[in-house]
Amino acid sequence: MEIEDRLLASPDLDMTIDTKPLKIAPDTRLQDAISLMSQARGSNCSFDSNDNESGLFLDNERSPCSYALIMEQDQLLGILTERDVVRLTASEVPFTELKVNQVMTHPVITLSQDNFSDIFAALFLFRRYKIRHLPLVDRNNNLIGVISPGTIRKAMRPTNLLKLRRVGDVMSKNVVHGDQLISVLSIAQLMAEQKVSCVIITQEDKEENILLPVGIITERDIMQFQSLELNLNNVKAQEVMSSPLFLLSPGDSLLKANQEMQLRRVRRLVVSWNWGQGLGIITQTSMLRIFDPMEMYTVINTLQRTVEDLQSENRRLSYIVKELEG
């Protein structure tokens, strides 16, 4: 069917692979690794070459990388991600005294090229292991590249599917928020404890008894603050948060959310409803939920039934018109 072809058209799998990932040696100092991740350039290392998710870093030349592969003689030993940096920040370990092989995540979940016939294998591993970076390897376990939610979302052009789904279908209501006056160290600890990628900064409206979202701090922000070797216990959230926020509503289409992420060069957007009484978050990772095979076929079946009903109604009306004319 034309509907099925349009919705399930496979992306070019080569476009979903970051073939130039950041690689570092296992004996690299952690502080140096964070500096490299913060200063990495090129579209392969970020959601967008002009990524500007932080309110503090406005330099368009910067293109932070959300991960680094730890390799030795072409062997993949581990991975260091923004999430790892947040976890280490929260534990207040001395960054200057550590090397990446002491704190990297290992062993690394990988995907064999032989099993990469469509995007669903990658999506399954993302969800099963709660990861966002998936190295692709050949039969000899040699690295080919890295697949991420960002690379998949860039490769797919599911305009029709995005139009049909709403932000409320995939957003998370597990929103962690903090006051403007708490320290960035406390923000990092909240992220680590709650296992979230960002904290929404809120301001209390005492008259309405609601919390208004006024800013956001993300994992990437924490990594960049660490690259500057800031004393995060002395930096307040309001001093470095990204603000003002662009807010979506649950009724907005995923197409709008996707377009706004691209326009604003961010990887997540805050959702608000009932005049601030409800808060949610939508990320490029959560948007990939619509590509669950069962959900896609459900949408297709719904569309197919709608088309058949319209065709049946059209035939009925045509018959009535002919009867009247006769």
pLDDT in tens, 58-107: 333 346 889 999 999 999 999 999 999 999 999 999 998 899 999 999 99
Asked, for residue 325, whether it belongs to a domain, the answer is: no
For the beta carbon of residue 301, count every other beta carbon within 10 angstroms.
12
321, burial (CB in 10 Å: exposed 0-12, middle 13-18, buried 19+): exposed
Q: Is the dihedral of CA 87, 90, 95, 98 positive or negative?
A: negative
Separation between Cα atoms, residue 141 and residue 95, nearest integer Å:
31
Separation between Cα atoms, residue 112 and residue 45, nearest integer Å:
22
Do residue 101 and residue 180 come from a single domain?
no
Asked, for residue 63, whether it belongs to a domain, the answer is: yes
For residue 60, the model assigns a pLDDT of: 33
120, burial (CB in 10 Å: exposed 0-12, middle 13-18, buried 19+): middle
Task: Specify the number of domains making up the chain.
Answer: 2
Q: Which of 186, 150, 144, 135 is nearest to 64 (CA)?
A: 150
Percent of the chain with pLDDT over 70: 82
Q: Which of 97, 127, 157 is the last residue of a domain?
A: 157
For residue 295, the model assigns a pLDDT of: 57
The model's confidence at residue 158, banded by pLDDT at 50, 70 and 90, is: low
217, burial (CB in 10 Å: exposed 0-12, middle 13-18, buried 19+): buried
Asked, for residue 118, whether it belongs to a domain, the answer is: yes
For residue 43, the model assigns a pLDDT of: 44
For the beta carbon of residue 85, count every other beta carbon within 10 angstroms.
27
Q: CATH number for the domain including 273?
A: 3.10.580.10
Residue type, 297: Y
Do residue 26 and residue 66 come from a single domain?
yes
Do residue 10 and residue 151 come from a single domain?
yes
Range of lowest pLDDT (83-92, 139-148, 223-232, 291-300): 291-300
Asked, for residue 239, whether it belongs to a domain, the answer is: yes
Q: Which of 126, 150, 180 is nearest to 65 (CA)?
A: 150
Do residue 151 and residue 21 come from a single domain?
yes
The overall average pLDDT reported for the chain is 83
Do residue 194 and residue 137 come from a single domain?
no
Do residue 176 and residue 113 come from a single domain?
no
The model's confidence at residue 1, banded by pLDDT at 50, 70 and 90, is: very low
Q: Alpha carbon 166 to chain centroid distance?
A: 17
- The mean pLDDT value for 12-22 works out to 90
**pLDDT tens digits for range 260-277:** 988 988 889 999 988 777
Write down the residue that tokens 């709660």 correspond to: 130
Separation between Cα atoms, residue 90 and residue 199, nearest integer Å:
14
Q: Which of 128, 157, 186 is the last residue of a domain?
A: 157
Do residue 110 and residue 44 come from a single domain?
yes
Q: Which of 31, 145, 20, 34 is nearest to 82 (CA)?
A: 34
Do residue 111 and residue 54 come from a single domain?
yes
Do residue 140 and residue 208 come from a single domain?
no
Asked, for residue 322, whether it belongs to a domain, the answer is: no
Q: Which of 157, 177, 207 is the last residue of a domain?
A: 157
| Residue ranges making up the domain that contains 201 | 164-289
